[in-house]
A and B are shown apart, each in its own frame.
Chain A
Amino acid sequence: MAKYKIVHYINNFFSGAGGEEAAGMRPEVHEGAMGPGLALLEAFGEDYEIAATVVCGDNYFGENLEDATAELLSMIEPFKPDLFIAGPAFNAGRYGVACGTICKAVEKELGIPVLTGMYEENPGVDMFRKDLIVIKTKNSAAGMRKAVPVFKNLGEKLVKGEEILGPDIEGYLERGIRVNYFAEKRGSERAIELLVKKCRGEECPTEYPMPKFDRVEPTAPVTDMAHTKIAIVTSGGIVPQGNPDHIESSSATKYGIYSIAGMERMDKKDFMTVHGGYDRAFVTEDPNLVIPLDVLREMEKEGVIGELADYFITTTGTGTATGNAKAFGEDFVGKLKEDGIGAVILTST
């Protein structure tokens, strides 16, 4: 039987090239295992081989993220590995970011399972925990011995496509992913038991911790509205008749950009709403209730605002994952910038 192939990523320090003085080294590829890879190789046993070790200086990686990633990918790809392991980076911040970045890229570009490991306070953890399985390690290389069997166990499961269990059981850092399971008792009974404990002042652990939503500093105000170009964005689910891009009526996974060039108002002949979260009867009759095109056109003529962008951006808000909404935003802000948009009116139902 052919052995499963692993490619391993390590930094300048663990390759033996040196510390800070070698941190600028460019990507290199070495056949076989080296440094911490030797311990991994031994643990994985005879069905596995470390086909190659790729090395990059932490500073070079950090200063040339895209180039370093591309170079490394081109070195890894020819080995056709079954598994990619980076680090572990322990508490080395730059190394952690490098491990996370290259793992994410390998998973996306080569479509193979990836694994890395870090100490939980490594800044790379928060950047990548949702995307990757990050094995929990101690804060220094002294923790390697303990980490090795965890790499082996998870690596094997990933290669064989077996189910990965919870973070505490498997030994990786909690990823913040909500996964379904069947509990022993139904929800109402569990809730009542928790409430009785809560009333007694006993510990009553929540099944869903409240998230901490992040915040953005308010931008400076618009100083010259009469010369500002405004764009309309909505989560009200307004789309052209027939919903050409099939935007979902709930839990949207996409958004649309549609023209309003030359239109004086939102005509019900042209637009409809697919929003599944409210009684659509009113908006179906008059889409201006969500996209106030009629009054914005007036204001444009009156010179109250400079100009209205000749399109609007739209999606369905109800049940739409915050991650998706964020991704939509990140995706379309480039266009807003490019088109010289000076202010946005975002409407929600």
Chain B
Amino acid sequence: MVKEIERVGIPVVHICTVVPISKTIGANRIVPAIGIPYPLGDPTKSAEQSKKIRRELVERGLKALETPVSEQTVFE
């Protein structure tokens, strides 16, 4: 799906846990998520902290979208 979005010229960031799969399928802007059962946030922490983690990930995602890349790039 990532590639089809990118193919029509819409920038896309893939926020995902399993970065190698994302690389294999061909996403160009990749942000590593927390974990498979909870990619954006960490429910083992408090609700505020979990949300803060989520906000940081989304901010990193936006930053990736604003960054020029020439090849597959992981925004750690």
Contacts and interface: CB of A to CB of B under 8 A. Distances in A.
B39 A281 contact: no
A245 B12 CA distance: 26
Interface string B4-46: 1111111111111110011011111100010011111101000
B37 A344 contact: no
Nearest to B3: A216
Contacts of B29: 218
A100 interface: no
A283 interface: yes
Contacts of A144: none
Nearest to B63: A225
A221 interface: yes
Contacts of B12: 219, 233, 343-346
B62 A305 contact: yes
Given A292-B54, A345-B61, A219 B9 contact: yes
Most buried by B among A283, A328, A349: A349
Contacts of A344: 5, 10-13
A220 B5 contact: no
A294 B54 contact: yes
Most buried by B among A279, A286, A337: A286
B11 A337 contact: no
A52 to B, nearest CB: 39
Interface string A243-283: 00000000000000000000000000000000001111111
A333 B11 CA distance: 12
A289 B40 contact: yes
B19 to A, nearest CB: 10
Interface residues of B, number: 51
Interface stretch (A15-23, A114-122, A174-182, A295-303): A295-303
Contacts of A342: 10-11
Interface residues of A, number: 54
A290 B65 contact: no
Nearest to A336: B10
Contacts of A213: 24-26
A303 B23 CA distance: 31
Interface in A322-349: 322, 325-326, 328-330, 333, 336-337, 341-349
Nearest to B1: A329
B55 A220 contact: no
Contact of B5 (A282, A296, A329): A329
Nearest to A296: B58
A236 interface: yes
A289 B61 contact: no
23 contacts: A214-B3, A217-B6, A218-B69, A219-B11, A221-B11, A221-B67, A222-B11, A223-B66, A285-B43, A292-B40, A295-B54, A295-B55, A296-B58, A299-B62, A326-B3, A333-B10, A336-B10, A344-B11, A345-B13, A346-B2, A346-B5, A347-B16, A348-B22
Interface of B: 1-18, 21-22, 24-29, 33, 36-41, 43, 50-51, 54-55, 57-58, 61-62, 65-73
Please name the 6 residue pairs, one residue from A and one from B, whose CB atoms are nearest each other, closest first.
A329-B4, A348-B16, A218-B28, A329-B1, A344-B12, A295-B55
Interface of A: 213-223, 225, 233, 235-236, 277-283, 285-286, 288-290, 292, 294-296, 298-299, 304-305, 315, 322, 325-326, 328-330, 333, 336-337, 341-349
Given A328-B4, A329-B3, 5 more contacts: A218-B28, A219-B28, A289-B43, A292-B57, A345-B58
